[in-house]
Every structure is written in C-alpha cells, then in structure tokens.
Chains A and B, each alone.
Chain A
C-alpha cells in the first residue's frame, strides 16, 4: 500500500518535471533559441573533444590516430611525477594562483564599489573606460611593456632611483617575479572583471537605500549592510569559479615574462609542459598533465561549492 503510494508520487513528480519543462519551453522558446548556439558550441568544442583525453594513456602518433595509437597506461603521468621539476612547478603554480586569488580577487570588487559611489557621471565613465582599456591590449604588448618598465634603465627604476634605490633588472630577481606577474595581472583585468559586479550593483533595489537613509545610516553603513550583502551571491559564485581555476596558470604570460634566472619562482606546470610537451609535439604528455590539472580543478570547485552551500546557501548547482 505504502510502496504503491511512493511509486505514484514519484511518477507524478517526474511528469510534472517534464510538464514544467514543456511549459517553460513554450513560454520562453526564444530564450531557448538564443541559448542554442552556445549549447551547440559547448557540445562541439567542449564535450565531443573530451574523448581525446584517452591519448593521455596512449603514445599518440598522428598517423595512427587517436584510436590506433598504442596504449601505455600511466606512463606519461609517471614521467610527470618523477621529473625533478615536478615539485618546483607544482609549488610555483599553487603559490602564483593562490596569491593571484588573494590579491586579484578583491580588486575588481573594490573598484566596482568605488565606481558605484561616484556621483559625477562623466568622471565615472572616464574611470571605467580607462580601467577597461588594458583588457583590450594584446598580452604580448603588455609583457613587452612590463619588460621595458622593469629593465635596468626602465621607468620603474627611473622612479625608484629618485628615492635612492639602486637600479636592478627586476625580471631577473626570482623573489619579485610573483609580485610583477600578479600586480600587472590585476592592472590588466581589474576594470573588465568589475563589470559583473557593477551589473549586480544596479540590481539592488533603491528603496533599501532610502529606508536605510531614513534610519540614519551613513554611506559606510549602507555599503556594509546593504550593498555588500546584496552582491554577496555574485561574489561567492565568482569565488567558487576562481577556486576551480586555482591550479591552472596559463603559460602564455609566464613564458613571455620568465627567463632561466627566475625559474625558481616562475616555472609553472603549464610552462614546463609547454617546453617539454608542445614544442616537442608530445601531445600525450601534455594531455596527461592537462588532465591532472582539470582533475584538481574539478575537485577544488566541487568542495568549494559544497562548503559555500553549507555556510551561505549560495551554490553553483
């Protein structure tokens, strides 16, 4: 008797899900249509290529193809872990991304809050444009600028020498690499990343501020008690996504900025793989390392999400 009821309840629920979907679909068909290209994009370029992951366990040879290449098990993983540079690159990757998150994550939030407080529209727009600009400059150019500025006779040393600092080439100092890498990263992406927070800020109901003003809250109190809690979901989601990318430091900027002298702090997993894998056409090896990175990223994002769900009820899924 009871079990029948449960079964019934289940089917009813399932029906209602499909019904809901159908209803939703007929109601929002144009939105679904708009989403279609992205869905196709992800299927074509993210899901289908995933089968290529199997070459991490093979000795990939172009002519034999993905299916025809020889299976080698965990050889490439083993090669990576036993390399004398595994420890160093792992540590560098972790530290660079951790510090990037620590310093780089709050920057766009603060910028967005500051822009939000500005009341003069012209000034606001100018600030926004100026802070977005670096985002549109090619990375190669950015790195060229950085190299010029940090050279012995560069701008940075010119300014510092006014304060009595002896000029050095900053990019040959391993202890400064992270600082240069992360601060230039913040400079480049802060403006652009603040857009999402600015969008969230416009969604806050103005009546909340009015009510707060009537209660006598000053600007700071409004910020702490209304603005921040209102954009907290956005912040948390962005944080979870960022944590997922913790172990993947892209090689492009690294290889443009590093040199053998700073390897001790600058050589990350991806740059190591670039030297070893891509240049030598060792696709299997780079896929294996990419897989490790993705696995770590997925684990991190999973636990960050779970944690956030538990304490703030905000989560990705």
Chain B
C-alpha cells in the first residue's frame, strides 16, 4: 500500500515533469490541424527492453527518420522492466495519460469498451475512415482482421501489428536431439506411442537424465502432447462449442500418460520447480533430449550445446498425435491482430494527426521503413529485393542483429510486418515452421473479449479453479493423487462453477462472430 502510493506520487511527479517539457514544443492548436503539417510532439508509452546498443526508442534512427517525414516528434516513455503491468495500472489511475499507450491497453479493468465509455481511450472508427486510408484498406480486405481490432460493441480501438502474410507459420512446438535418434537408429517420433519408445530408449541406452522437459505446470500452454487427445490445454472450441480441456475425458488420458512417463523417469523429475534458466541449463548441458519451445530460442541453444558436445543437433518434431495420420487440432496461432496494440487516449490533443502518423506504418513507404529501415543505411535494394547491410548483419561495434535491430527498424510494433524481414532464417527455423504448421489450429479460440460484469465473475471464479487445477495436475502427474480420483476432480471443478465460465466464453465467442464490421 505504502509503496504503491509512493510510486503513484513519483509517477505523477515524473509525468508532470514530462508534460512541462512536452508543453514547450507543443503547438496548441485544437482546431483541425490535421491538414496542417506543423511540428507536434506526442507522448508514447510502450514497454521496451534496452541493451548496450539502444537504451530507449528515443534513440531509434528509424523513428527519427519517421519524424523527418511526418513532422511528428515522439517522446517515448518506457516503464521499468518487469513492472509493466503495475505501472500501467498506476498510470491509468493517475489521470495523467500519455497520448498513446502500446501493449498493455487491453489490461484496462473492465475491458476496452469500458475504457472507451469511461473516456480513456478514443473510438477510432471515424478517424480511421477519414485519415487512415492504408489501414482502412487492410481492414476492408480482411474481415478476420477487422473483427480482431473491433470490440464487441463495434468500436475500432487500436493500431496493431499485422502480418503481411495471412498464414504466418507456427513458431512453437516440440524439438528433439537428432544425433541421439540417429545413434539409436530411430525415426523421428510422430505418435504418442513412438514418442514413448524414443524417450525410453534414450533414457536406457543413452543414459539421458531427463529425456523430456515439460513446463512448470505440467501442461504446455500451446497444447503440445495434450492436443493428441483431441482437446485443448484450456478453453477451446470444437465447431462452435466452447469446451474446457482440463475436465474432458481426454485430459485424464493425458495425465495417465504423463504419470506413467514421470514414474519411468522419462520426464524431468524437477519440472515443477524449474524456472526458464534452469530449464535451459538442462537442455544446453545435454541432460535433456526433447523439449517444447519456440524456434528462435533453439538458435541460441545450438552454440551453447555444441561447445560441450560438437555432435549435438536439434530437429523440430511433429506435434504428436495419438495415431498415425491423425490430425492435431491445437497449436500456436498468429492472430491477424498480432498484438502490440496501440491505443490513442483522451489526453491526445490532435488525434487526427496521430491517426495519420500511425497510418503511415501501413503504407508502402512505411512498410519499407518499419521492416527494413533506412535505405542506404540499414538496407540496400539488390535484384529488386531489400537486403540488410553490414550495419545490421555484421555490426562494426560487434553486436548481433537482435541487439541492433530496434535502432534501425522496428522488431515488433503497430505496423504491417513481413515476418521474413530478418537477416535469414536458419535451417532449423525453416524446418520448424514447416513441421509445426502441419498441425491444424481449428480448436483455438479467437481473441474474444468479456464484458465488465463477465470479467469480474470470470476472474473471481477462475482464479480459484486455476489454483485447484494447477495443484491437482501436478499431483496426478507426480502420483501424489491416484488417477481414480479424476472424476472427483472434475466434480470439484464443476462445483466451483466451470459450467458458467464455459457459458461466458461461449457468449464471448458468439459475440465475436457477430461483431459489426463493414
């Protein structure tokens, strides 16, 4: 309480200071200045991870170039790392709002619609109609996208990261050590049964301590392994019916399997207490043979494991199915609205100008600027195709691409993104995308929203259900509770009100499908 108050005071103080410095530059002209091109300055709140090369987005050369082109000066405000949620909450409470909020806007208590009706965020429909032709075109062409940037009551509320490719590949799935498979003369596992055999042989013949690493909760958030049993890891939809995975019969089969694997030592014994660092140590030290991850991380694991075991090699595995030829229906999905949503707040003096400014990121020139940076500096055109310069690829200061990226272009943010606009995908990355995308994603719920009342009821009930569920899942897997108790577990969750929660999700899904988009 005390600390919270102190932080509020400090935050208010800093925002006051900021607003003074902002005032000096701002031209106070409230009447339709959208036609004018006078220099304006806006405050832009967005989380950012600094590194040795770029400390804040205020140092971004890309945004400086954008300022030259649009005459809009952006003053970035970055919350402290790891405290984004709290600082967002405090900022909203402090009534001193920046002009733009990116990433945490959806966390507004009561939802986006409430934020708009409370007068905190702006409804953008009319502004986009008038001032954002490029963005509007994207929405018109892609109803799924339009649905995902519109609330249930028909408010367009944000500018978001939009994938240029409508079917961006999956980036999350299982990975296995190829060198071990080869030495044992095994094929890549595809079904649960094959996985079991592979893990067992690796354990017995290769003396690998923890053949399979699973996450802390015992269930993969994107459903790997769970999805083999024709369910999702949490709420999911079958056809148009919402269901809750952890109480479905398939979940019992999943737990039975995990329990068996755990007893046999095929799963990391300490999974329940491992954080990410310790999990990675297990993988890179060669004590594990298979794990579930995103492909970008594997590129980092490869040099680490090669330093101790030059023969080690990773390959992506298919998301396992129960029987050969079965389709898996759940995996990671790239929503059309790719997140990093930026909203405009009611503090903004000149929304039309900002809307125009955002729209630039979806234009042709903006697309090149955000994806590749500044021509002649960060990229050149070769054979009609943009190619990053050595500044990006072999930085003279010795930094790698991911360290320098945000100074010259934008990695993620509200713009039209070409996911291939990175130096190059490794062989592993390409194989992973290809392999993991073979799974279907029709069980995954689209990004729905709850009403304020639903939200309150939902968070109240679900936090208790999650507590109970998390506890029981681990107990089932580790054998502290026999699986014969599964029915009691389902009964308990039902008595805690899961049916009502499913209904809430169902209503939200129905509303999603009925969103008014032109």
Closest to B468 in A: A84
Taking the complex as formed, is B352 at the interface, i.e. its CB lies under 8 A from any CB of chain A? no
Set A61, A84, A85, A147: member contacting B278, Cβ < 8 A:
A147
Contact in complex: A172, B6 (CB < 8 Å): no
With A172-B273, A259-B474, A260-B470: A79-B119 Cβ-Cβ less than 8 Å: no
Closest to A62 in B: B93
Which secondary structure dominates where chain B touches chain A?
Answer: helix
Set A45, A62, A264: member contacting B92, Cβ < 8 A:
A62
Taking the complex as formed, is B485 at the interface, i.e. its CB lies under 8 A from any CB of chain A? no
Taking the complex as formed, is B1 at the interface, i.e. its CB lies under 8 A from any CB of chain A? yes
Taking the complex as formed, is A70 at the interface, i.e. its CB lies under 8 A from any CB of chain B? no
Contact in complex: B2, A79 (CB < 8 Å): no
With A49-B2, A267-B467: A63-B120 Cβ-Cβ less than 8 Å: yes
With A63-B119, A172-B273: A260-B89 Cβ-Cβ less than 8 Å: no
Chain A residues within an 8 Å CB radius of B5 = 45, 49, 52
Count B-side interface residues using an 8 Å CB cutoff. Answer: 39
Docked complex Cα distance between A260 and B480 (Å):
12
Interface string of A83-113 (1 = CB under 8 A from B): 1110000000000000000000000000000
Set A61, A261, A275: member contacting B272, Cβ < 8 A:
A261
Chain A residues within an 8 Å CB radius of B234 = none
18 other A-B residue contacts (CB within 8 Å) besides A275-B463, A281-B107: A52-B5, A62-B89, A62-B109, A63-B92, A63-B120, A84-B496, A147-B278, A150-B273, A151-B273, A152-B270, A259-B216, A259-B272, A259-B474, A261-B471, A263-B467, A263-B470, A263-B471, A278-B86
Contact in complex: A260, B107 (CB < 8 Å): no
The smallest C-beta distance from B196 to any residue of chain A, in angstroms, reads 22
Taking the complex as formed, is B118 at the interface, i.e. its CB lies under 8 A from any CB of chain A? yes
Docked complex Cα distance between A8 and B410 (Å):
81
The smallest C-beta distance from B406 to any residue of chain A, in angstroms, reads 27
Contact surface of A with B, Cβ cutoff 8 Å? 45-46, 49, 52, 61-64, 79, 83-85, 147-148, 150-153, 169, 171-172, 259-261, 263-264, 267, 272, 275-276, 278-282, 287, 290
Set A61, A152, A172, A272: member contacting B110, Cβ < 8 A:
A61
Chain B residues within an 8 Å CB radius of A63 = 92, 95, 118-120
Contact in complex: B478, A172 (CB < 8 Å): yes
Docked complex Cα distance between A287 and B5 (Å):
13
Which secondary structure dominates where chain A touches chain B?
Answer: helix
Taking the complex as formed, is B64 at the interface, i.e. its CB lies under 8 A from any CB of chain A? no
Contact in complex: A152, B471 (CB < 8 Å): no
Docked complex Cα distance between A259 and B120 (Å):
37
Chain A residues within an 8 Å CB radius of B78 = none
Closest to B2 in A: A45
Taking the complex as formed, is B475 at the interface, i.e. its CB lies under 8 A from any CB of chain A? yes
Interface string of B457-469 (1 = CB under 8 A from A): 0011001101110
Chain B residues within an 8 Å CB radius of A282 = 459
- In residues 92-112 of chain B, which contact A (Cβ within 8 Å)? 92-93, 95, 107, 109-110
